[in-house]
Structure 1
Amino acid sequence: MPHRSPLHVGMRRVFSKVLLAGLLAIQQIDARDLKSRKVTTRLRARDDAAFDWYKLDASEDITWTPCGSGQQCARVLLPLDYSREADSPKATIALQMQPAAGNATYKGAVLVNPGGPGGSGTQMVAEIGTNLTELVGAGYDVIGFDPRGTGATLPLAQCFETESELQTFAQRTPVLVNASDDSIPYSKAQNDAVAQLCQRKLGGNGSEDANGTVEEWGGGRFMDTASVATDMLRIIEKLGQDKLHYFGVSYGTILGQYFASLYPDKVGRFVIDAVCDAEYYPWNSALVETEGVIDGLYSYCHLAGPAKCPLYESSIAKIKARVWNIMKTKTPLAVPFAAQGPAVVTEALLQQQILNAVYFPISEWPEFANILVAVETNNQSVLAASDFVAAAAPACNSTNEPAPWLRTNSAEYAIACSDYPLADDPAAFDAYLREMTRESPIAAPGWVGSYLACMKWKIEAKKRFAGPFAGNTSSPIFVLSNVLDPVCPFAHARRVHARFPGSGLLVQNATGHVATLTPSACTVAAVQAYFANGTLPAAGAVCQPNVLPFVGAVGGD
């Protein structure tokens, strides 16, 4: 799609890297004897090095196949349309499992979702499955699945013919929209073009004949989150599990709220981290804490001192002034020998980098600081080697098409625009832009592109669930949030906690997106205790981080 919101781009770019660091604080749970499982998995030998998702047989049962590094993969057939199961075509859901440790008491499977919307759960498990088993406990299988529209699942929200076609089209997209130039009408036209491509590919032909194909019924009409929540229910049923154990972050907390609202009696161990309120997401109050997180760039740099922060000045105000002086006076800057070809660093590009960096300040603020100093001093060797600058000139390789599950897709909008549709109302967009700009002048120009995309989206979900997002769940939900989150503010976590009676709320005194991505022995121990025996945090519980941006390790751990 032309616009990729920071919520999507930031998560995919650095999620696994930061989670690996965050889990350094984990304390292991004692292993116990492995109990027999309810369902015996059937394994088929396969050459892991040549693993191809589309060559993996799909079936009504979950049949596991080795797919590298001790993990197992499967493709399961589920009804595309749950309102017409008897004659509906099938969705093909991709699953990837990190098996529980063989010397631990088996406790079931935990389904995980990495956010987005549009993030791949199979990729999440492929990259950090062992770390996730440490987080939830050695007795659990950890299973990532690709929601409808994403990854190796079918139908896939892929509207362009090739990756190079999409990338060429996307390069013409304004990075940030601005009411003072033509970027808004241009972006509207681009999103309209993409929406029409997607309607042709995913919208169906208007018929729902028995034994018809997914393409005829229109796969895009069934990518809504309620359908995915029912997919999760069917997956655990096929695993022989009565309740869903779940760990979801960011958009994954929305999916969690859908499931807990639709199937409250099926909630087991259930952790939602970086909570976006499903009653507000994604259009309202998302950026109320973004500026506060951005201010942390200046304050943590000052706290760390000149030895650890290359932007250091004698006061926080001077650091802020230096940052914006670099962005406004040192750009545009030519980088002729960047890794993927000549590039130009602009103020808009640096501002987009801020929006990505606010997600994970511990890892991203230092990198961003180094880029700013390189721009300030015209350090071409640093800039040429930077992944950030390389991204400014994306390569379009028409001779080496990636596998379909690795291609860029339009799932972010196929999902979000199905769940939270918008009328094509220019006045409403203008009001939204003003509101987002009031909340965060820095983030709003990059954030509102998703609103424009959904204004132009042309596929409606056949059956959209609009709430209420609440319920008396069979097991208490564990709600987790940083005190400052750039896109899922703490107020959202408080509201969700209040709507699910008996839930527990743990606050981490840290800034950034996703609490478990900030190293904190206190937070990790609380999550582990909950998965081990259902222990909830005490009312008013607050955990401190063990690492701060620029500063490094704190608290003696």
Structure 2
Amino acid sequence: MRSLFLYLAASTVFHATAYSADEKPKDPAKKYPGENISWTPCGNTTEGTPLECSDIDVPADQFAPKNQTSKLKFNIPLIRLRSKNGTKNLLFNPGGPGASGVENTIKVGDGIFNATGRDYHILSFDPRGVKGSEPNASCSSLTQPEPSSPFTIGDAKLYAWATTWGKSCADIMGEHGKFINTPQTAADMNSILDAVGQSDMYYLGVSYGSLLGQTYASLFPNRSARVIIDSVAHLSEYYESKVETANYNFTAEVWEGFISECFKAGNRCPLSSRAGSDKELLDKVTSFIDGLGPEPMSTYVNATVNGFLTARDVWGGILSDLYNPGLWNMTATAVDQMMNGNGTEALLRWMPGGGEEEAEQEEDEEEKRPGVEESSRSVIRANDRPSGPAAWSQGLDSLVEELTPFYQNNKSKRWFEGWQPDYYMLQQWPINKTHSFQVTKDVKTAFPLLILQNQFDPVTPLVGAQFASETFNSSRLVVADQYGHTAIGTNDCVDESVRAYLGNGTLPNNGTVCQSEVKYFTPQNETKGFMQLDDDMSDGNGESDDEGIPPI
């Protein structure tokens, strides 16, 4: 998900320099003592640190009985940032689901080094079905219909689209499709450890990566020597609940915090002069944005950049920005200009095609199979979670009946609306679940987990971290008293806990609170550096890039 060590622009398009299967590296492969695979130099991080790449094949079904053999496999690309002092590998997952570990290591590997103490090699990978892994989790590129405006719960066009789209996923992926899920990826991490000759898991997972880490620690507690999870997804809600309320129930609190910090910032926040109190400011700004539902704002920049802004567009853009307080100045500027009748900044920030990123994305699309696109985020979620006729009553009327209660909370409904396409897909998902993972309590791992969490996170609220703390025996929870998504790399107190935990196994007191070091509504270069992860949950302009599903 986003915002750790570097405040990279949210609209940055990143192109990996790791080699692809069709580009044979010129440098000779290198094999290290105790490892079973060879590595080849494959470029540098964005800060110029050398990287090496490899890959492994893993069985499609990691949990099949040993007497059952199958030729069905996935190829998993690996990337490593070596430490001069390192004797062990720290596996890293940046989030998603659907984020590329290869791309993010190139982008933020040096930041991970700085936060963790440079005593470990940073080893990451593209999970099965994701990005450079083969085969990909792919579905039809059939365009999702525009949501109705004003919003309606029962959208017949969206329902018809979800029916067709789900069938395309099953058809395109074939036998591989049913094995693209989180428990299988957790088992793949053991294959990675075995390939590098390491018995114990040392792991850092952020957001969805926290879910992967919890899944791994539950399945393989005896190998879980050092597991760090940050911005913690609610394990039980994800695997067991048809509707994940934790993902949006607390977003309104963070939005209110944004407004409160804006008002306190005075003239540093463009919106602050519009009201005499933070409550009045909240009411004015919220009412204005909600009013774009029935009356969208027409915005014309030039012949190729133009459009109209709906309430859904703006709330989606704001949600994306709430991840990263370093962007809040730009968020406030865009909304303030809209309230003055000028939607240019908002269009450029939050709408598809508003910036240069869209053109670069279109260039990438030309390399893909016609009519097919990677859909790993949706596929993984549907294969992990309660989905299809086994979990959901069928038919649009039944879906509306199931979802209606979640739209009745006035504070959270505007955030829940963005999840509507996800539930349309989950209800009609045609691939039968193949994993049997069950959440259990009081899991005793080889060494206690370290759980990191911001107090005010827009998409993975504190309740997820608290649940993890209760689930894993003797685990330690460290809370940063600040806004934003991801704590590591944003707070020296948090980073000190991480380095002590990895360095000599020092455990902080459970419930340790680290005071905020984030300065709100300051120029980006004056704000404590965050690592900007590309978790592939949003395209950076406030728009989801995978069938409309917002970040989790």
TM-score range (shorter-chain normalised) is 0.7 to 0.9
Q: Secondary structure at the match of 1:91?
A: strand
The residue aligned with 1:186 is 157
Range 347-356 or range 500-509, more displaced = 347-356
How far apart in 1 are the matches of 2:257 and 2:225?
Answer: 36
The residue aligned with 2:541 is none
The residue aligned with 2:190 is 233
C-alpha displacement of 1:317: 1.9
How far apart in 2 are the matches of 1:388 and 1:365?
Answer: 13
Task: Check the 8 A contact 1:343/1:390 in 2, yes or no.
Answer: no
Task: Check the 8 A contact 1:338/1:390 in 2, yes or no.
Answer: no
Any idea what the Cα deviations from partners look like across 1:90-125, whole Å, max 9, x if unmatched? 21001111111x2x2x23111111111111111110
The residue aligned with 2:119 is 139
- Identify if the C-alpha distance between structure 1 residues 272 and 554 changes in structure 2 by more than 3 Å, giving closer, same or farther: same
Report % sequence identity. 27
The residue aligned with 1:374 is 337
How far apart in 1 are the matches of 2:101 and 2:134?
Answer: 14
The residue aligned with 1:44 is none
Aligned match for 1:414, one of 335, 356, 379: 379
Q: How does 1:145-544 map to 2 (within 5 A)?
A: 145-160=125-140, 165=141, 169-170=143-144, 172-174=145-147, 178-179=151-152, 184-202=155-173, 204=174, 218-281=175-238, 283-286=243-246, 287-312=248-273, 313-328=275-290, 332-337=296-301, 341-360=305-324, 362-379=325-342, 382=345, 386-391=348-353, 401=365, 403=367, 409-422=374-387, 423-425=391-393, 426-427=397-398, 430-435=401-406, 437-438=408-409, 440-468=412-440, 470-516=442-488, 519-544=490-515
Aligned match for 2:19, one of 44, 51, 59: 51
How far apart in 2 are the matches of 1:477 and 1:173?
Answer: 43
C-alpha displacement of 1:88: 3.4
Unaligned runs of 5+ in 1: 1-10, 23-47, 205-217
C-alpha displacement of 1:251: 1.1
C-alpha displacement of 1:72: 1.1
Give the CA RMSD over aligned residues.
3.1
Task: Check the 8 A contact 2:162/2:424 in 1, yes or no.
Answer: yes
Task: Check the 8 A contact 2:78/2:102 in 1, yes or no.
Answer: yes
Q: Secondary structure at the match of 1:547?
A: coil
Any idea what the Cα deviations from partners look like across 1:60-103, whole Å, max 9, x if unmatched? 95321211111111121111122056333221001111111x2x
- Identify if the C-alpha distance between structure 1 residues 79 and 484 changes in structure 2 by more than 3 Å, giving closer, same or farther: same
How far apart in 2 are the matches of 1:537 and 1:145?
Answer: 29
- Identify if the C-alpha distance between structure 1 residues 413 and 87 changes in structure 2 by more than 3 Å, giving closer, same or farther: same
- Identify if the C-alpha distance between structure 1 residues 547 and 154 changes in structure 2 by more than 3 Å, giving closer, same or farther: same
| TM-score normalised by length of structure 1 | 0.80
How far apart in 2 are the matches of 1:328 and 1:399?
Answer: 35
Task: Check the 8 A contact 1:224/1:461 in 2, yes or no.
Answer: no
Aligned match for 2:38, one of 55, 63, 70: 63
C-alpha displacement of 1:448: 3.3
How far apart in 1 are the matches of 2:109 and 2:362?
Answer: 33
Q: Secondary structure at the match of 1:546?
A: coil
Aligned match for 2:73, one of 79, 87, 90: 90
Range 253-262 or range 312-321, more displaced = 312-321
How far apart in 2 are the matches of 1:50 and 1:284?
Answer: 35
Any idea what the Cα deviations from partners look like across 1:455-491, whole Å, max 9, x if unmatched? 1211123333233265210011001111222222212
Q: Which amino acid aligns with 2:285?
A: V
C-alpha displacement of 1:18: 4.7
Task: Check the 8 A contact 1:371/1:383 in 2, yes or no.
Answer: yes
Task: Check the 8 A contact 2:289/2:311 in 1, yes or no.
Answer: yes
Task: Check the 8 A contact 2:443/2:473 in 1, yes or no.
Answer: yes
Q: Which amino acid aligns with 1:421?
A: P
Any idea what the Cα deviations from partners look like across 1:232-261, whole Å, max 9, x if unmatched? 011011111111110001111111111111
How far apart in 2 are the matches of 1:524 and 1:340?
Answer: 45
Range 350-359 or range 116-125, more displaced = 350-359
Task: Check the 8 A contact 1:175/1:352 in 2, yes or no.
Answer: no
How far apart in 2 are the matches of 1:440 and 1:381?
Answer: 27
- Identify if the C-alpha distance between structure 1 residues 530 and 400 changes in structure 2 by more than 3 Å, giving closer, same or farther: closer
How far apart in 2 are the matches of 1:488 and 1:151?
Answer: 24
The residue aligned with 1:40 is none
Q: Secondary structure at the match of 1:68?
A: strand
C-alpha displacement of 1:306: 1.6
Task: Check the 8 A contact 1:470/1:499 in 2, yes or no.
Answer: yes
Task: Check the 8 A contact 1:221/1:460 in 2, yes or no.
Answer: yes
Q: How does 1:13-52 map to 2 (within 5 A)?
A: 15=2, 18-21=4-7, 51-52=19-20
Q: Secondary structure at the match of 1:147?
A: coil
- Identify if the C-alpha distance between structure 1 residues 127 and 468 changes in structure 2 by more than 3 Å, giving closer, same or farther: same
Task: Check the 8 A contact 1:340/1:395 in 2, yes or no.
Answer: no
- Identify if the C-alpha distance between structure 1 residues 397 and 75 changes in structure 2 by more than 3 Å, giving closer, same or farther: closer
The residue aligned with 1:212 is none
- Identify if the C-alpha distance between structure 1 residues 93 and 333 changes in structure 2 by more than 3 Å, giving closer, same or farther: same
